C-alpha cells in the first residue's frame, strides 16, 4: 500500500494493547497465557499489574470484600515483582513482538492511571497520590528512564475513579485511553456506553471535556481485560504510526501522539492538517488543509471530521454497500456481460464493472460460535482460498471476557491457536454461546483477498466441509450449522470490495481559525458497528 499522505512516509501501522490484566495481581490466567494470547493478534502489549490505591475506602459493609481482593492483588504483584519483570522482558522480541512493563494505580479523587515504562524499572512505586506519581514520572523522564501515566475509564465521575481534569498533566500523560471493556469516553453520547458496576458516563469527564479545557493529548484504546487476553476482540486496541517495531520506535510514536483508538477491527487511519500528522501541535493559520486516508476492516458507514467538538464534515460512503440483495444479484450475472452501475466516491461519479473473470480485491470474514449459552464447543477450522490470492489475515479472537475480577472465568485462559497457510488459515478455539442476546462472543478471522467472481472459499469446520463462492458472498452473507436447531453455527460474511473500506480525500476548512486553540480529530464508523478515532491535531500560539 502506498499511503497518499507525505507526513506518514517511512512509518508503518502497528497494533497493541498495553492496559489489561491477568492473575499476576487480581484477575485470571497466567502471565505467560496473557503474552501468548497477545501474540495471536497484536504487535505490542503490556500486561498490567494492579499495584496500589492510595485513597482506598474504609473496609466497611459492602466494601469489605472489595477492599480485600484489591489488597490481596497488590500484595501478590509485589511478591512476584521480579518474576513479573523477567517474564515481560523474556517476551520482548524486537521486530516480532514488543512488550512493555506496566502497573496500575487507582484513585477515587483523581482517577485510575496505568504506569507504562519503556525502560523497565528496578522497583515499583506505591505513590501516596496521583500528584506524587506524576512527579515521579517527570523525574524519571529527566533521568532518561522513559515512562508515562495513562488515565483510563476517564468518564466516570470525579471522586468515583473518573479523571480529575484539574490535576491532569500533559507532560506525564501524553496519551489518554478512551475505549476499553468499560465503554467509550469520547463523549457522553458516543457509542459503547458505560455499563459496569462503577456507574455511567459523566459529560465533564469525557475526552471532549478535556479537549475543550485546552489540554492536548493523544488517544488510545485498550481492553482492560481481566482474564489474560490482551487484544480480546471488540474491546479496544491502539494503533500507532512508528518507524519500526521496537520499544524505542513505538515509544517515540507514543510521545509524538501518533496514535489512534480502535474498538475492534484493525483500521489504518491517517489524518493531517497542513501536512502535520495526528497528535501534532501546530501554529495557528487561517488556511486549514486536511487530508484523510482510511483503510477499514469492514465497509465504512461514514467518516467525520470533528472541530472543537463539533462535526464540521460528514463524509458518507456511497457505493455497492448501498445496493440491496437484488441489485447485487444483477452485478453477478453468469454470462460474460459486464454490468455498469453508478458509484459515487469522494464526490466524483465513476462506474463499477463486474465480469466473471475480472479481478477484484476485498475482505471477507468468517465467524464461528452461537449455539446454547454456556455450552462449551471446541472448534477446529481450516479456511482455504481457491482461485484467488490471499493478501492478509486479521485474527479476531475473544478471551473469557471478564471486566469484574470477582467473576469466575474457568480454569483455562489460553485456548486459541492459529496457523497461516500459503492459501488460507487454520485455527483452533472455543466458544460458549453468546452470554446475552446483545453480547458478541464469537470467534473469527478476516481475510483480504484478490480474486474473481469464480473464487471460492473452502471451509472445514470440525470435519464438516463447506464451499462459499465469492459470487454468492458478493450478494450477502451465508450461514451454516454444525447440526440441528441450536447447534453451533458459522457465518461467512458478505464480501466487501476494496472501494467500500478504503478511501482518501482532501478538504479545506472554510471557517479557518475560530479560536486561539482549535483542535480537530477524525472518527470512522463501520457498518458492522466498529469504530476508530484519530488523535487530535491542535493549533496553539507559541
Write out pLDDT tens, residues 50-93: 999 999 999 999 999 999 999 999 999 999 999 999 999 999 99
Residues 63 and 124 in one domain: yes
Orientation of helix 81-90 relative to helix 31-41, angle to 10°: 30
pLDDT band at 308 (very low <50, low <70, confident <90, very high): very high
How many whole angstroms separate alpha carbon 435 and alpha carbon 427? 23
In a domain, 303, yes or no: no
pLDDT at 350: 36
Q: Which three cell numbers stand for residue 150?
A: 495513562
Q: Which three cell numbers stand for residue 489?
A: 453455527
pLDDT at 339: 36
CA torsion sign for 156, 157, 160, 163 is positive
Instruction: Return the SS3 of 134.
Output: helix
Residues 257 and 244 in one domain: yes
336 pLDDT more than 80:
no
By the 8 A CB rule, do 527 and 298 touch? yes
CATH number, domain containing residue 63? 3.20.20.140
pLDDT at 328: 53
In a domain, 345, yes or no: yes
Cell 479476531 -> residue: 396
Out of 236, 264, 292, a domain closes at 264
How many whole angstroms separate alpha carbon 178 and alpha carbon 486? 37
Residues 37 and 146 in one domain: yes
DSSP E strand stretches across 181-248: 183-184, 218-221, 237-242
In a domain, 279, yes or no: no
Residues 347 and 422 in one domain: no
pLDDT band at 314 (very low <50, low <70, confident <90, very high): very high
Residues 342 and 393 in one domain: no
Residues facing residue 237 across a β-bridge:
262
How many whole angstroms separate alpha carbon 140 and alpha carbon 359? 55
364 pLDDT more than 50:
yes
Which residues, at least 6 apart from 28, have a Cβ–Cβ distance to it below 8 Å?
Answer: 22, 226, 227, 228, 400, 402, 405, 408, 409, 410, 413
Q: Which three cell numbers stand for residue 530?
A: 466498529
Out of 498, 519, 534, a domain closes at 498
Q: How many domains does the chain have?
A: 3
Summarize the confidence of residues 263-270 as an average pLDDT: 97
By the 8 A CB rule, do 34 and 229 touch? yes
Q: What are phi and psi of 509, to 5 degrees?
A: -70, 110
How many whole angstroms separate alpha carbon 134 and alpha carbon 361? 48
Residues 115 and 221 in one domain: yes
Residues 381 and 339 in one domain: no
In a domain, 517, yes or no: no
By the 8 A CB rule, do 447 and 364 touch? yes
Residues 232 and 115 in one domain: yes
In a domain, 521, yes or no: no
349 pLDDT more than 80:
no
How many whole angstroms separate alpha carbon 221 and alpha carbon 482? 35
Residues 330 and 234 in one domain: no
Summarize the confidence of residues 30-58 as an average pLDDT: 98
Task: Find, among 93, 95, 310, 282, the residue nearest to 187 by Cα.
Answer: 310
Summarize the confidence of residues 508-528 as an average pLDDT: 95
Q: What are phi and psi of 499, to 5 degrees?
A: -65, -20
pLDDT at 335: 36
More confident residue, 379 or 408: 379
In a domain, 208, yes or no: yes
In a domain, 529, yes or no: no
Residues 164 and 228 in one domain: yes
In a domain, 332, yes or no: yes
pLDDT at 541: 87
pLDDT at 317: 80
Residues 122 and 99 in one domain: yes
Out of 264, 285, 308, a domain closes at 264
How many whole angstroms separate alpha carbon 204 and alpha carbon 188? 9
Which pLDDT tens digit goes with each residue over 170-189?
999 999 999 999 999 999 99
pLDDT band at 250 (very low <50, low <70, confident <90, very high): very high
Show the domain range for 341.
324-355
pLDDT at 478: 97
Residue 390 CA neighbour count, 13 Å, CB half: 20
Q: Which three cell numbers stand for residue 152?
A: 483510563
Residues 46 and 176 in one domain: yes
pLDDT band at 406 (very low <50, low <70, confident <90, very high): confident
Amino acid at each position: 500500500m502506498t499511503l497518499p499522505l507525505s507526513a506518514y512516509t517511512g512509518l508503518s501501522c502497528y497494533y497493541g494493547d498495553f492496559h489489561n490484566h491477568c492473575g499476576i495481581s487480581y484477575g485470571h490466567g497466567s502471565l505467560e497465557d496473557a503474552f501468548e494470547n497477545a501474540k495471536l493478534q497484536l504487535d505490542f502489549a503490556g500486561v498490567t499489574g494492579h499495584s496500589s490505591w492510595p485513597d482506598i475506602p474504609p473496609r466497611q459493609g459492602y466494601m469489605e470484600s472489595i477492599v480485600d481482593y484489591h489488597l490481596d492483588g497488590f500484595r501478590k504483584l509485589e511478591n512476584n515483582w521480579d518474576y513479573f519483570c523477567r517474564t515481560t522482558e523474556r517476551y520482548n522480541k524486537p521486530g516480532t513482538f514488543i512488550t512493555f512493563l506496566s502497573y496500575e494505580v487507582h484513585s477515587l479523587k483523581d482517577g485510575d492511571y496505568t504506569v507504562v515504562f519503556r525502560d523497565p524499572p528496578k522497583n515499583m512505586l506505591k505513590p501516596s497520590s496521583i500528584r506524587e506519581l506524576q512527579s515521579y514520572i517527570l523525574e524519571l523522564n529527566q533521568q532518561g528512564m522513559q515512562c508515562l501515566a495513562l488515565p483510563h475509564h476517564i468518564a466516570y465521575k470525579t471522586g468515583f475513579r473518573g479523571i480529575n481534569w484539574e490535576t491532569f498533566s500533559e507532560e506525564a500523560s501524553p496519551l489518554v485511553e478512551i475505549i476499553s471493556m468499560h465503554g467509550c469516553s469520547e463523549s457522553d453520547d458516543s457509542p459503547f456506553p458505560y455499563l459496569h458496576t462503577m456507574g455511567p458516563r459523566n459529560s465533564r469527564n469525557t475526552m471532549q471535556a478535556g479537549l475543550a479545557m485546552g489540554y492536548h493529548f493523544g488517544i488510545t484504546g485498550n481492553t482492560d481485560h481481566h482474564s489474560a487476553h490482551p487484544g480480546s476482540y471488540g474491546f479496544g486496541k491502539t494503533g500507532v504510526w512508528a518507524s519500526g517495531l521496537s520499544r524505542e520506535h513505538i515509544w517515540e510514536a507514543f510521545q509524538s501522539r501518533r496514535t489512534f483508538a480502535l474498538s475492534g477491527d484493525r483500521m489504518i487511519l491517517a489524518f493531517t492538517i497542513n501536512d502535520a500528522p495526528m497528535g501534532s501541535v501546530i501554529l495557528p493559520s487561517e488556511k486549514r488543509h486536511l487530508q484523510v486516508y482510511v483503510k477499514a476492516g469492514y465497509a465504512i458507514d461514514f467518516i467525520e471530521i470533528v472541530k472543537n467538538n463539533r462535526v464540521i464534515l460528514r463524509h458518507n460512503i456511497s457505493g455497492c454497500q448501498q445496493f440491496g440483495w437484488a441489485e447485487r444479484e444483477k452485478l453477478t450475472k453468469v454470462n460474460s456481460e459486464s454490468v455498469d452501475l453508478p458509484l459515487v466516491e469522494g464526490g466524483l461519479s465513476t462506474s463499477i464493472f463486474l465480469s466473471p473473470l475480472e479481478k477484484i480485491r476485498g475482505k471477507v470474514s468468517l465467524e464461528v460460535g452461537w449455539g446454547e449459552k454456556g455450552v462449551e464447543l471446541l472448534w477446529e477450522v481450516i479456511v482455504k482460498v481457491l482461485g484467488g490470492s490471499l493478501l492478509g489475515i486479521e485474527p479476531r479472537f475473544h478471551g473469557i471476557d471478564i471486566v469484574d475480577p470477582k467473576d469466575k472465568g474457568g480454569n483455562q485462559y489460553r485456548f486459541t491457536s492459529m496457523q497461516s497457510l500459503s492459501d488460507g488459515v487454520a485455527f483452533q478455539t472455543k466458544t460458549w454461546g453468546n452470554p446475552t442476546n446483545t453480547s458478541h462472543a464469537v470467534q473469527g478471522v478476516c481475510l483480504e483477498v484478490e480474486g474473481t467472481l469464480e473464487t471460492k472459499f473452502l471451509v472445514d469446520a470440525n470435519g464438516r466441509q463447506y464451499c462459499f463462492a465469492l459470487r454468492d458472498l458478493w450478494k450477502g452473507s451465508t450461514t451454516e450449522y454444525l447440526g440441528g436447531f441450536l447447534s453451533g453455527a458459522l457465518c461467512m460474511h458478505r464480501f466487501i470490495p476494496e472501494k467500500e473500506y478504503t478511501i482518501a480525500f482532501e478538504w479545506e476548512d472554510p471557517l479557518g481559525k475560530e479560536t486561539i486553540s482549535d483542535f480537530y480529530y477524525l472518527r470512522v464508523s463501520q457498518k458492522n458497528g466498529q469504530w476508530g478515532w484519530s488523535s487530535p491535531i491542535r493549533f496553539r500560539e507559541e
